[in-house]
Structure 1
Amino acid sequence: MDLGTDTRSDRTLLSDLSKGVKVRQASLVQEWVDIVAWANRNIVTTPELAATIVDGVIDTGVPIAGEGAPLVSEFNLMELIAVLGRSPDGGRAYVGRVIECAWRLPGIYASVLEGRLEPWRAERIADLTRPLNAEAAAFVDRQLAAVGGVGWAQLERLVTEAVIRFDPERAEAQRQAAADRRRVDFDDVDPNGQVESHSVLDAADAHDFDQALSRRAKLRGQLGDTDSFDVRRAKSVGEMARQDLGLDLLFADEETGEVMATSPGRKVELSVHITDTALNEDNPFANPVGRWDQGRTPISTAQIKEWLRARDTTVIVRPVIDLKHCVPVDSYEIPDRIRRRVELRDHQCRFPGCPHRASRCDLDHAQPYGQGGVTCPCNLVPLCRRHHRAKTFSKWRYVIVLPGHYLWTSPHGRHLLVGPDGTRALDPPRSPDPDE
């Protein structure tokens, strides 16, 4: 393709692009009109035939538009989505947004048809109003018609006001559900030994935490720390944590009941694989790279030394675990020592393509315990909660080929091999069994 033959001036190019935007906009508006006409022709009256948004592994569908909008045929919608050239999930959501606007947000829909509101902005509004009851959705529609265009933050506040005003029980349920989602997460460690953290906190707790970090960072600067203010805030997190750990001097082992004393400060538990010469700087053949299982990342021996040399650090050295060792226990409950072996062997959920850490997964008995399956590493497989449910409640199945290697069969007969090197598809889908 010759990229240098267009002789149009910049002025002409910009004019042509502007015309193209208007043509594309008009075409999309016409698409909305046609989708509404299609929806009018394909209304169904029974929920069993209606198109729904599917949530999770179990089919707990909700209609693709909000309360008061028509239900449309599930199977006819599949054909419409194919004509639109969209993915099944994306197309279902897109058509639902158009229906949401046409039936529950008439002011928004009119603005789209008249060219006063871009369709993508209307879709964003529809995503926010779909869970609302009819009164709340109508309130949002009226308010937007009265004030014209608003920013996204103002729009979200408007939706929140609508929920509190017209559906207070739902507002309280949402508040409680949001409170139940409070958490603090840590990502994988990067090659430089750093980790990103994300949290959802109560607003008052977050304010106090923010103030405490800033106060500590300022104090560190006054005491001579020359790092930037942001770095001093980050260092203060570890300082606060180690001070808290220093209060916990005694703990009881859950399995043995033995009470052990620990040193205050940092507790480091690293499953690090290094050679016997790795930490010897004078050895020219030393391998400077270790591997941290918990962080699932290569780390430099310099980083290992820095961690272990930190003040008030308790270092625990455990013997190497033989991952091939398999001694079952006579119970359904899984001891920590067996869980640890499985986690070190598999590292993550063993469903095809799933990246969830094994330490955050359920351990599934490949052969159910109630059917003679034993509780030992060779019969335990880490599966995250979502894929554990898929194996239990759907037609997804797997067999253990070798320790750490699993052959999965999908509901439509596709075979996928999951192992230490990832997931590999073995064959195309088989024809469905007419007897199933």
Structure 2
Amino acid sequence: MDLGTDTRSDRALLSDLSEGVKVRQAALVKEWIDIATWATRNIVTSPEQAATIVDGIIDTGVPIAGAGAPLVSEFNLMELIAVLGRSPDGGRAYVGRIIECAWRLPNIYAAVVEGRLEPWRAERIADLTHPLNAEAAAFVDRQLAAVGGVGWAQLERLVQEAVIRFDPERAEAERQAANEELFVDVHLDQIDQHGRVRVDATVDAADGHDVDQALNRRAIQRGKLGDDSSLGVRRARSLGDIARQDLSLDLLFTDEETGEVVAQSPGRKVELSVHITDTTLTSDDEDNPFANPVGRWDQGRAPISIAQIKEWLRARDTTIIVRPVIDLADCVPVDSYEIPDRIRRRVELRDHQCRFPSCPKQATACDLDHAKPHGQGGVTCPCNLVPLCRRHHRAKTHSRWRYTIVLPGHYLWTSPNDRHFLVGPDGTRALDPPRSPDPDE
């Protein structure tokens, strides 16, 4: 496209953009209405058939919308989400917010349909009201209809008021449970291209003060010893110093039942999986244009430079665990239904994640499904095993979702209404062209 040939003035360009925003908003509102209509046609009465939200890898059993909203079919929802092109968890949350508004927040839903409230704002409100009982949610809906737009802080206070007013037992339980929500998360599955991860934490205020003081003290010491990095960088590196000081200790544990004393070896533990290709062995040759100086950290599912790997392995007191080479093309079946660890490892390294359309769940957290059931002659072999998370394993087993292995690592899925999705190393691709809702067209 030659951008220089566009002769529209800025005024005309902005006018076209404004019109585009209106068209996009209208399409989104229609999507809301269509999803609400879909929900009325896919209501179930049994909790076992209902779609529920997911917290991490655990199915909470909590419906995707709040109390008083209808339960919708879990398996039919999978097809809707696939058609919408959303991820399984994100799609469930999105549809749940629309159902929350349509049934429990009628004033909010009407404001969206009439164009008085942006859908994304309504989704935020639905997230806050989802845990409320029906009476509290109705109170929030009435208050927002009466006062119009409010800021997020005011909205959160309004929700808290609703909880205290209409669900005092829950309010008190939440107050007492607050200190049970302390956590420290090191996001090792989200490593970036520079070998960095994010650390999130909510800690006791006194503990937070001590950590802050310890990091400052070590950062100052690093500066005096010649580290000319910024204070923030020195504080970050000091956190690793504190951790390695703990890892350098010989830790003893006593089994209370047997009395056995176990000594835990000091230092960092590294299991190194080297993925070898026809270019890997020549990656040290700077003159070779096909050299491949890139590794991959399986846990983080990210490319890592060879220099970064060397730096990690050279850390003091590091133990390296060496495993035999795994040939992913190897196909040696076993007679039993149970899957040996060596075969599971091959399948996980081949597919990396759940093979249902758009599902990001890591293969290490999935079941391995026999593509051809074992009871029907299907072998327990990498060529007949496919990683599916528990939810999508159930969909394949108990609903009309089906897949066919096209090639190793490539799967053709068919939805209950005959929509087709090709899942492979490059992601998910919908194969069906858009169709008219009118069968006569």
Q: TM-score range by the shorter chain?
A: 0.5 to 0.7
Aligned to 2:322: 317
Paired position in structure 2 for 1:166: 166
Amino acid at match of 1:389: R
Equivalent runs, 1:337-352 vs 2, <5 Å: 337-352=342-357
Q: Secondary structure at the match of 1:389?
A: helix
Q: Deviations for 1:89-109, whole angstroms, at most 9, x for unmatched residues?
A: 979955863664557x9xx99
Structure with higher RCO (Cα < 8 A, 6+ apart): 2
Q: Pick one of 240, 244, 247 that aligns with 1:238.
A: 240
Shift of 1:170: 4.6
Q: 1:178 to 1:344 in 2, by over 3 A?
A: farther
CA gap 1:192/1:93 in 2 versus in 1, 3 angstroms: closer
> Given the superposition, is the C-alpha separation of residues 235 and 6 from structure 1 closer, same or farther in structure 2, using an over 3 Å criterion?
closer
Contact 1:397/1:408 (8 A) holds in 2: yes
Kindly provide the amino acid, as one letter, of the partner of residue 156 in structure 2.
Answer: E
Partner Cα separation in structure 1 for residue 170 and residue 264 of structure 2: 48
Q: Which runs of 5+ in 2 are unaligned?
A: 1-5, 74-85, 254-260, 436-441
Matches of 2:117 and 2:434 in 1, distance apart? Answer: 41
CA contact (8 A) 2:222 2:234 kept: no
Provide the aligned C-alpha RMSD in A.
5.3
Give the distance between the partners of 1:398 and 1:269, measured in 2 at CA.
34
- Are the counterparts in 2 of residues 405 and 419 from structure 1 also a CA contact under 8 Å? yes
Distance 1:368 1:249, change over 3 A: farther
Residue deviations 1:259-303 (CA, integer Å, cap 9, x gap): 9987521122222236345357xx644936122151434332222
The 3 A distance-change label for structure 1 pair 376 and 241 is farther
**Corresponding residue number in structure 2 for 1:220:** 219
Specify which of 256, 265, 268 is matched with residue 266 of structure 1: 268
Q: 1:96 and 1:355, CA in 2 relative to 1: closer, same or farther beyond 3 A?
A: closer
Which structure 2 residues correspond to residues 4-403 of structure 1 after superposition, within 5 A? Answer: 4=9, 55=52, 67=68, 97=101, 100-102=104-106, 124-125=124-125, 128-129=128-129, 131-137=131-137, 140=140, 150-171=150-171, 184=185, 185-197=187-199, 199=200, 203-204=202-203, 208=207, 211-212=210-211, 215-224=214-223, 225-247=227-249, 263-273=265-275, 275-279=280-284, 284-285=287-288, 287=291, 289-294=293-298, 295-329=300-334, 331-403=336-408
Cα distance, 1:291–1:123 mapped onto 2, change above 3 Å: closer
Change (3 A) 1:211 1:362: farther
Residue identity in the other structure for 2:133: N
CA distance in 2, matches of 1:334, 1:404: 18
Q: In the alignment, residue 193 of structure 1 is paired with which amino acid?
A: G
Distance 1:158 1:245 in 2: 47
**1:427 shift after superposition:** 5.6
Label 1:361 to 1:180 Cα distance change in 2 as closer, same or farther (>3 A): farther
Residues 386 and 301 of structure 1: is their aligned pair in 2 closer, same or farther, counting only changes over 3 Å?
Answer: same
How far apart are residue 325 of structure 1 and its match? 2.5
- Which one-letter code corresponds to 2:396 in the other structure? K
Which AA in structure 2 matches 1:349?
C
Secondary structure of 1:407's partner?
strand
Match among 391, 412, 421 for residue 416 of structure 1: 421
CA distance, structure 1, for counterparts of residue 265 and residue 66 of structure 2:
58
CA 1:399/1:135 → structure 2, altered by over 3 Å: closer, same or farther? closer
- 1:168-195 Cα shifts (integer Å, max 9, x gaps): 4555787879968968343443332223
Check 1:425–1:364 CA distance in 2 against 1; reply closer, same or farther (3 A cut). same
Distance 1:402 1:248 in 2: 49
Match of 2:412 in 1: 407
SS in 1 for 2:418: coil
1:61 to 1:298, Cα distance in 2 relative to 1, 3 A? closer
Q: Distance in 1 between matches of 2:400 and 2:134?
A: 38
Structure 1: stretches of 5+ with no match in the other structure: 8-12, 75-86, 252-258, 431-436
Q: Structure 1, residues 365-402: CA drift from partner, whole Å, max 9, x if none? A: 22334554443323321122332232223211123344
Identity of paired residues, percent?
61
CA deviation after TM superposition for structure 1 residue 148, in Å = 8.3
Aligned length, in residue pairs: 368
When Rg is computed on C-alpha atoms for both structures, the one with the higher figure is 1
Cα distance in 1 for residues equivalent to 2:209 and 2:342 = 39
